[in-house]
Chains A and B, each alone.
Chain A
Amino acid sequence: MPDMEHLLGVPLTRRTALGGTAALTASSVISESDPAIAAPLTKPVGVRMAIRTTVNGKAVPVEIDVRTSLLDLLREQLHLTGAKKGCDHGQCGACTVHVDGRRVASCLTLAAKVDGRAVTTIEGLADGKTLHPMQQAFIDHDALQCGYCTPGQIMAAVACVREGNATSKDRIREYMSGNICRCGAYVGIVAAIEQVAGREKV
């Protein structure tokens, strides 16, 4: 992703990637009033609230609609699309981020709840150009295929090690069970976590 941003010279978001034509095509097929495909809330339309949160070390004052999830705030308003929406119901772990250092499912976290708190996403893990040891370990162990679950897996994995729950293969599997990988990269994921737990301070 950082490489592509360099190439394009703009921060890449799904919105800029898809562009306007895709949206047009969609709206010509499906009526805009269909509640089943209501557009994500990019601007507050319901009850508004101003919050101050810290995201990846930067203070972010932002106005939200109180219905907004932390995941939608990150992706749609702050354009941090690393955290993924797999299920939007707490069932897959793709949206995992850290709030005040603890891992949470951002899809079931009201954005209003991070007022005054510090959020860390996958975008905030690397130290400049140096990958976080867990990111490097995922590469070393081929711990992904399509990569959709990976940002959530890595955020959960970092927390798993910090919590002291990466002490054996079985315990890693138990404490990583909230992160589903449809490609089945589990063997590599467990190996990557074991590597980091064994030798690094994270």
Chain B
Amino acid sequence: MRPFTYARPESAAAAVRAFMAAGAGAHYIAGGTSLYDLMKLDIEKPQHLIDVTTIRGLDAIETNGERLRFEALAPMSAVATDKVVLRDYPILAEALWKAASQQLRNMATVGGNLLQRTRCLYFRNGAGGTSVGNTYPCNKREPGSGCAAIGGLDRGQAVLGQSSSCTAVSPGDWPVALVALDAYVEVLGAGGSRAIPIAELYRLPGSTPNLEFTLQPGEMITAIVVPKTKAGRHSTYHKIRDRESYAFALASAAVALDMDGDTVTRARIGLGGVATKPWRATAAEALLAGKPLTPATALAAGHAAFADAKAGQHNGFKIELGARTVADALTIAAARNRS
């Protein structure tokens, strides 16, 4: 691993100052479960690490008031077991506890989770690192080098949002649930603070898949804010994997429903495991509005969510799997907290 300097600021403002002063090669590190992992693979090569986990009081979980507010350094395991989150927002709790393992959730922060990088095999394993030995082109890792996944072993790749430069899946579960609930992040940068809707935090790969987020250099996520909604009670994060636990999603659906009896007044649907960024299935949402939730409408919504999907060589199964994952998620969410 390449050498780097290591700083531990005591406040968010000091962290931003340290970042700006360090210049090129500066990187924040929170739990390190994505960044340190990729440093070992020689994919991330920071020259200066700024450890934000020593900042005091940036891990609060606030559930009173109009909004849920999770400060960036709250561990995934803490938010997943918050009483209000568990009771009123199963969509959020499930997106967290179905991710990674308890060891990793104790280390990983809810802020860092939003910025984890893809698990695309060619991105992760193609840098010629110690445990791999081989090199593969990857436009995300090395802009302009090409994409080995296109025409390659693409079983895990995206069917929505891909470009001719990149088909890598956005890996996180938590961002998918947050997109469905119209959450936003608060960020602090050299120019002050601002709020960014979660959906706008992510870029489509287009011709620059190396640029994944819309944060400016030095901008730090300080909190995640979720507007409260009654739909949280009719919600789920449904995740389908190659094994039952401790695996990334092949397909997942984050669903929250406003219901009037059996009728869906409004549906919110996010898709994971199938797209190049946390995906909002607006066509499926529109199809359900005002309709009763039945097995037929649920499946129709699932198919609407994948109407624009395009398969590569080995990932065509994700389209039908994804549609049925949405249908199942709708059924689970609708059955919750009926009173």
A interface with B by C-beta (< 8 Å): 35-38, 46-47, 49, 66-67, 69, 88-90, 93, 96, 102-105, 108-110, 112-113, 156, 159-160, 163, 165, 173-175, 177-179
Q: Name A93's contact: one of B5, B77, B103, B107 (CB within 8 Å).
A: B103
Total A-B pairs in contact (CB under 8 Å)?
Answer: 87
Q: Does B245 contact A (CB under 8 A)?
A: yes
Q: Is the CB of B102 within 8 A of A165?
A: yes
Give every chain A residue within 8 A of B311 (Cβ-Cβ).
none
Q: Name B4's contact: one of A66, A175, A177, A178 (CB within 8 Å).
A: A66
Give every chain A residue within 8 A of B37 (Cβ-Cβ).
89-90, 108
Given contacts A103-B102, A163-B102, contact A89 B5 (CB under 8 A): no
Closest chain B CB from A164 CB (angstroms) = 9
Q: Which of B1-55 contact A (CB under 8 A)?
A: 1, 3-6, 29, 31-33, 36-37, 40-41, 49, 51, 53
Closest chain A CB from B274 CB (angstroms) = 22
Give every chain B residue within 8 A of A36 (Cβ-Cβ).
130, 133
Q: Does B193 contact A (CB under 8 A)?
A: no
- CB pairs A–B below 8 angstroms (24 shown): A38-B130, A47-B3, A47-B4, A49-B6, A66-B5, A88-B40, A88-B131, A89-B37, A90-B103, A103-B103, A104-B106, A104-B107, A105-B33, A105-B107, A108-B31, A108-B33, A109-B32, A113-B51, A113-B53, A159-B102, A175-B102, A178-B102, A178-B103, A178-B104
Considering the complex of A and B, which 5 residue pairs feature the smallest CB-CB distances, nearest first? A178-B101, A177-B245, A46-B3, A177-B246, A66-B6
Q: Is the CB of B245 within 8 A of A105?
A: no
Q: Does B115 contact A (CB under 8 A)?
A: no
The CA-CA distance from A178 to B97 in the complex, in Å, is 12
From B53, B101, B103, residue with most partner A Cβ within 10 Å: B103
Q: Name A110's contact: one of B36, B101, B102, B130 (CB within 8 Å).
A: B36
Given contacts A66-B5, A108-B33, contact A90 B104 (CB under 8 A): yes
Q: Is the CB of A67 within 8 A of B3?
A: yes
Q: Does B332 contact A (CB under 8 A)?
A: no
Q: Does B100 contact A (CB under 8 A)?
A: yes
B interface with A by C-beta (< 8 Å): 1, 3-6, 29, 31-33, 36-37, 40-41, 49, 51, 53, 77, 100-104, 106-107, 130-131, 133, 244-246
Closest chain B CB from A100 CB (angstroms) = 10
Closest chain A CB from B34 CB (angstroms) = 9
Give every chain A residue within 8 A of B101 (Cβ-Cβ).
90, 93, 105, 177-179
Give every chain B residue within 8 A of A88 (Cβ-Cβ).
40, 131
Q: Is the CB of A110 within 8 A of B3?
A: no
CB-CB nearest in chain B for A49: B6
CB-CB nearest in chain A for B245: A177
Q: Is the CB of A108 within 8 A of B4?
A: no
The CA-CA distance from A175 to B102 in the complex, in Å, is 6
The CA-CA distance from A152 to B258 in the complex, in Å, is 44
The CA-CA distance from A66 to B7 in the complex, in Å, is 10
From B40, B41, B133, residue with most partner A Cβ within 10 Å: B40
The CA-CA distance from A66 to B8 in the complex, in Å, is 12
Give every chain B residue within 8 A of A175 (Cβ-Cβ).
102
Closest chain B CB from A26 CB (angstroms) = 15
